[in-house]
Amino acid sequence: MGRVLVTGGAGFIGSHLVDALIKQTEVAVLDNLSTGHKENIAHHMDNPSFEFVEGSISSERDVERAIPDVDSVFHMAAQPDVRFSVSDPLTDFEMNVVGSMRLLEYLRKADVTKIVFASSGGTVYGDSEVSPTPEETRLSPISNYGAAKSAFEMYLSSYAELYGMSAVSMRLGNIIGPRSTAGVVYDFYQKLKRDPTRLEVLGNGEQTKAYMYVTDAVRAAVLLADRMEIGHLPVNVSSGERLRVSRIAEIVCDGLGARNARIEFTGSERGWKGDVVETDLDVTLLRSFGWTPSISIEHGIALYLDWLVESFGPVD
Ligand SMILES: NC(=O)c1ccc[n+]([C@@H]2O[C@H](COP(=O)([O-])OP(=O)(O)OC[C@H]3O[C@@H](n4cnc5c(N)ncnc54)[C@H](O)[C@@H]3O)[C@@H](O)[C@H]2O)c1
């Protein structure tokens, strides 16, 4: 692999990807630090094989600073919040569709032809009736975030055909692990830290979703980049394991020593507008590339809780 660019490389998943890629090649990161943090990549700043460009994927000048000699791009930068996309669809569109399109155009003009995109298996299929859901399933998002991810995938398909690009859309499950400050486990930790006697769970607790530990997702990204061919290939990237939200609540309470916390469900079917309550991603295609999971989800949650306690303190 030649020099690579990771957009959003100071974020949760992007920074773990940088940790893996830097072992094999030169890495540039382009990040505007809107939700990412310099601390996530601070340990690479003195490495001559690493370059950090603070800037936006929407700025031609910033992208030009980041792409000299780059031959492939991992596009992780995004507005990552489903709920934000529901309350402010236009800003989400500007960031996740227009921003990504600008980046894609700058890449085309610079003859950078390989792109691995962080799409979302948890949202592009919507309430799929096919379970586990394979990649051929019709895209039917029920959130604006999922619509934006789907739209950009369509452009990767047309760019691959028109301009000979090689593109992979990683339809990621719910990714957990250190450096994440979003998602259900983080939400439960925060609530228990505020009040270790009770835990409010959004929805009826029956929501059951596909999860994956972050380093397993990163291994999949690197593997898929190595196998990329001309065309657009969507690939579900998840562990194949699912967990019910009520079970996650129990694991988190146990793991944080809040065994007596009262678990209270708000009761609705969806946790929030746009929430896909059942996700089950078929990972046969990913496995056919030789990928296997190395960390079970329950173990992954335990590792993540260790990091949360170390970083933000115990739940008393
Ligand atoms: N975390 C998950 O469970 C999950 C699931 C499915 C898909 N994804 C996708 O994976 C990618 C990474 O998600 P994450 O959880 O690490 O989120 P994150 O918020 O930690 O990372 C996103 C990064 O993009 C940067 N960014 C945002 N807009 C930018 C712009 N215009 N220019 C440059 N940088 C910009 C942010 O500063 C941040 O560092 C996103 O595309 C997200 O939509 C994440």
The alpha carbon of 293 and the centre of ligand 1 are apart by a number of angstroms equal to 22
Residue 6, ligand 1, Cβ within 6 A:
no
Q: How many A from CA of 76 to the centre of ligand 1?
A: 5
Sign of torsion over alpha carbons 143, 144, 147, 152: negative
| pLDDT on residue 245 | 96
| pLDDT reported for residue 23 | 97
Q: What is the pLDDT of residues 37-66, one digit of tens each?
A: 999 999 999 999 999 999 999 999 999 999
pLDDT band at 235 (very low <50, low <70, confident <90, very high): very high
Mean pLDDT to the nearest integer, 272-301: 96
Q: Is the CB of 78 under 6 A from ligand 1?
A: yes
Average pLDDT value for residue range 266-293: 95
CA of 182 relative to ligand 1 center, distance in Å: 11
Q: Is the pLDDT of residue 316 over 90?
A: no
Question: Does any ligand 1 atom lie closer than 6 A to the CB of residue 14?
Answer: yes
pLDDT (mean) for 212-236: 97
Tokens representing 176 are 């957990």
Best of 95, 125, 175, 214 to mutate for ligand 1, by most ligand atoms within 8 A of CB? 175
Ligand 1 lined by 181 (C-beta under 6 Å) = no
Interval 117-130 mean pLDDT: 97
Confidence grade of residue 216 (pLDDT, cut at 50, 70, 90): very high
The CATH number that domain 177-209+241-280+294-312 falls under is 3.90.25.10
Nearest CA to ligand 1 atom 21: 11
DSSP code of residue 278: B
Cα three-residue angle 100-103-106, rounded to 5 degrees = 155
Query: pLDDT by residue (tens digit) across 169-190?
Result: 999 999 999 999 999 999 999 9
In the predicted model, what is the mean pLDDT of the chain? 97
Q: Does the pLDDT value for residue 1 go beyond 90?
A: no
Q: For ligand 1, atom 43, which residue shows the shortest CA distance?
A: 80
Q: What percent of the chain has pLDDT over 70?
A: 100
SS3 52: strand
pTM: 0.98
Residues annotated as catalytic are 145
**Ligand 1 near 175 CB (within 6 A):** yes
Question: Domain boundaries in the chain?
Answer: 4-175+214-237, 177-209+241-280+294-312
Question: Residue 291 to residues 29, 188, 217, 283: CA-CA distances in angstroms?
Answer: 26, 30, 10, 9
Spell out the alpha helix ranges (H) of the chain.
12-21, 60-66, 82-87, 89-93, 99-109, 144-163, 184-194, 214-226, 245-255, 284-288, 297-312
What is the architecture of the domain spanning 4-175+214-237? 3-Layer(aba) Sandwich (3.40)
Handedness of CA 116, 231, 151, 212 (dihedral sign): negative
Q: Is the C-beta atom of 215 inside 6 A of ligand 1?
A: no
Give the mean pLDDT of 122-130: 96
Q: How far is the CA of 263 from the centre of ligand 1 (A)?
A: 30
Q: What string of DSSP letters covers 144-181?
A: HHHHHHHHHHHHHHHHHHHH--EEEEEEE-EEE-TT--
- How high is the pLDDT of residue 212? 98
